[in-house]
Amino acid sequence: MTGKHVFWYFVIFFGIIIVVNAIMMTLAIRTHSGVVTDHAYEKGLAYNKVVEAEQKQQELQWNAEINYKSGILYFILKDDTGIDITPDKSTASFTRPTETGMDFTQELTRSGVAVPFPAKGVWDVRVDAIVGEQKFQQSKRMVIK
């Protein structure tokens, strides 16, 4: 093996590395979904309010269930003794963790509401309920088939 062969082996080796890295960078740029948090700075500043609200919710000792059966979303809220609570208003926010532009909200009723998901797959559901002056929030990750 001569010096020329060793030189060309180095060139080929590093050439392969450069080509593979270029392919990976191209794929990363083309498939970036752009999913980021809107207004991250403002949300960071309001973090203490979020912690306060969470503590108030824990003190209530309410329990909630979010169920999705046969195309209908049900939200059931109960107090610490197991008695049903009817929220004055409840809204479900649906977000797709892997894609932007598909998020939507839906007003909820006690008897359940039909939810037309624009795509199958993983969805995050957050229900915000208001009972008098109290606010309650529950989240659940669901797989829609």
pLDDT digits (tens, 9 = 90+) for 68-113: 998 999 999 999 899 999 999 999 999 998 888 889 999 998 778 9
Q: What is the CATH number of domain 61-144?
A: 2.60.40.10
pLDDT digits (tens, 9 = 90+) for 23-66: 999 999 888 777 677 788 888 888 888 888 889 888 989 999 99
What DSSP string runs through the chain? --HHHHHHHHHHHHHHHHHHHHHHHHHHHHT------TTHHHHHHTHHHHHHHHHHHHHHT-EEEEEEETTEEEEEEE-TTS-EE--SEEEEEEE-TT-SS--EEEE--TT-EE---SSSEEEEEEEEEEETTEEEEEEEEEEE-
Residues forming beta bridges with residue 122, ordered by sequence position: 143
> How far is the C-alpha of 112 from the C-alpha of 15, rounded, in Å?
60
Position 90, amino acid: S
At residue 35, the pLDDT reads 66
Q: Where are the domains of the chain?
A: 61-144
Residues forming beta bridges with residue 106, ordered by sequence position: 92
> How far is the C-alpha of 121 from the C-alpha of 21, rounded, in Å?
31
The single residue listed with the structure tokens 């700075």 is: 41
> How far is the C-alpha of 144 from the C-alpha of 125, rounded, in Å?
11
At residue 111, the pLDDT reads 78
Rounded to two decimals, the pTM is 0.68
